[in-house]
Amino acid sequence: METKMTIGAADDAALASGAASGDERAFKEIVSKHKAAVYSTALRITGSAADADEVAQDVFVKVYFSLRKFEARSSLATWIYRIAVNAALDRSRKNKKRPATAGEAFREDMVCPSDASSPPNPAGSAADAEDVRRLLLSLDEKYRAPLVLREYEGMKYDEISRVLGISVGQVKIRIFRAREEIRNNIGACRTAMKDTGIKAPQSEDTKAKS
């Protein structure tokens, strides 16, 4: 998977320099180039389209007024991702939307995928996406951010390490913990459903086959 924001793009430095000097077209190009990555990262961290929109707006307002401080020690994309992740995590904390803390057992509002071993729907339905976002929200935020950057932004570990300001070793461990937590949460969910006699929701694929 390619990184969505093309970290390290050479023309970013020129754009940043232009925008910092007041070139509105350069700033518009920065927004156009990075808005989808900022929005999608914020959506998967906050779990809410409305929050993601507000966070993305906040991010680019901050970028606009901070470009003069951008020293190009990291790429523009890394810098913007860093602002976006921090803003999304702040929003997530304020909302306290997480359905469960790390390691908590199944709760009724937690997603219980129909069958994690089944092949994904190639097109991906809106219901599938909602389920996945609830799974992501069930993660401790320190695990959620690196997993989102890896799985959806296609970043390599060293890029994630620069965005989050942690070591590559910590990135490895946090992504592992995120996957382990998802695995445990799905397992706890299925056990709870089995105990209560509730059937897990069937995916459209499964329904079609049955």
Partner 1 sequence: MKCEKWRIMLSVAEDSELDGRDSAVLAAHVAECRDCREFADSLRAIRAELSKDSEPLAPPEFFETRLAGRIASEKSRRAS
Chain CA centroid to CA 130, Å: 13
CB atoms closer than 10 angstroms to residue 194: 11
Chain CA centroid to CA 153, Å: 8
CB atoms closer than 10 angstroms to residue 59: 26
CB of 119 to partner 1, least distance (A): 6
Choice between 76 and 174, CB closer to partner 1: 174
Choice between 44 and 79, CB closer to partner 1: 44
Helix ranges (DSSP H) in 67-156? 76-95, 126-137, 141-151
Choice between 14 and 129, CB closer to partner 1: 129
Give the residues lining the site for partner 1 (CB under 8 A).
28, 31-32, 35-36, 39-40, 43-44, 49, 52-53, 56-57, 60-61, 64-65, 113, 116-121, 124-125, 128-129, 131-133, 135-136, 147, 150-152, 156-157, 172-173, 175-176, 179-180, 182-183, 186
Choice between 27 and 79, CB closer to partner 1: 27
For residue 194, the number of C-alpha atoms closer than 13 Å in the C-beta half-sphere is 6
CB of 144 to partner 1, least distance (A): 12
